[in-house]
Amino acid sequence: MTKFWGIGVGPGDSDLLTLKAVQTIRQLDVLYTPQAHRGATSVAETIAKPYLPADLTIKRRHFPMGGDWAIRAHQWQTIAAEIVADVKAGQEVGFLTLGDPSIYSTYSYIVDLLHTQINVVTIAGISAYSQIAASISTPLVLDDELLEIVPATAPLEKIETAIDQNDNVVIMKVATRFTDVYNLLAQRDLLGQATVVTNASMADERIKTMADYHPTDKLPYFTTLILKHTTRGNPQHENSKH
């Protein structure tokens, strides 16, 4: 029986796809790739390109980002119906998603519409923040430390609470709320302890601390922040948590 495969392609570097992801892609008949903007190149497709079979049917579909929820939901339903039809026609169908499919992924909304109709298999991918921690050789958590992952689009009070109540914080898509997050960290004297990574693992990756920026700077969409209140082996950071 054919299946629908959700495939995490990792943060950007094509070499970071798992063997499972590559093997799955190579057995597909149809592949759906998400587009945030109509006519734009899918980042997920670009990442997976070295592994795409020449005879693979690629269906590039637009997924609205933000805006009216009803419009977004209608598009998800339209694409889900198309996927169901492809699988029931006897085709192995895949869907590419950046990072890991289970972390802030549009794929999750699609899966909710499919579970009762077709067989679904999800292939995990490397998240952006996992790759960032590896690239700077810094653990996300140790011992009894706490870690919270929040999107920059969350209410500002939730971001503030996450900063104040956790040892380590990941803020996804921080560019969408950069000035607000900058000010929260500046008030707590934490700018130097917040690592900001743009285009993680891609050719144009940029790694800086928040202290290297001005609060009004404009950063690319794919920018992630990792805050560590304490840095082991560096006593000057031990008392910086508020």
The burial class, CB within 10 Å (0-12 / 13-18 / 19+), for 107 is buried
**pLDDT given at position 136:** 92
pLDDT bin (cut points 50, 70, 90) of residue 74 is very high
What SS3 state is found at 233? Answer: coil
- Specify the pLDDT at position 206: 96
pLDDT (0 to 100) of residue 97 = 96
Q: Any residues with CB less than 8 A from the CB of 24 and at least 6 apart, and which?
A: 5, 7, 94, 121, 123
All structural domains of the chain with their residue ranges: 4-126, 129-237
* Mean pLDDT computed over 206-214: 97
Specify the pTM.
0.88
Of the candidates 160, 156, 194, which has an alpha carbon nearest to the alpha carbon of residue 177? 156
pLDDT tens profile 7-42: 999 999 999 999 999 999 999 999 999 987 776 778
H helix or E strand, kind and range, residue 164: helix 156-165
Confidence of residue 64 (pLDDT cuts 50, 70, 90): confident
DSSP state, residue 116: T
What are the tens digits of pLDDT across the range 162-196? 999 999 999 999 999 999 999 999 999 999 999 99
Architecture category of domain 129-237 in CATH: 2-Layer Sandwich (3.30)
Which has the closest alpha carbon to 123: 10, 236, 40, 1?
10
Give the per-residue pLDDT at 65. 76
Topology agreement, domain 4-126 and domain 129-237: no
Compute the Cα dihedral for 45, 47, 50, 52 and give only its sign.
negative
| Res 231: pLDDT | 63
CB distance 152 to 177 below 8 Å = yes
Most confidently modeled of 57-71, 75-89, 218-232? 75-89
The CA distance from 170 to 231, in Å, is 15
Which architecture characterizes domain 4-126 according to CATH?
3-Layer(aba) Sandwich (3.40)
Distances (CA, A) of 2 to 5, 143, 185, 212, 239: 10, 43, 49, 51, 56
Number of H helices, E strands in the chain: 7, 10
pLDDT of residue 160 exceeding 50: yes
pLDDT per residue as tens digits for the range 79-134: 999 999 999 999 999 999 999 999 999 899 999 999 899 999 999 999 999 999 99
pLDDT of residue 212 exceeding 50: yes
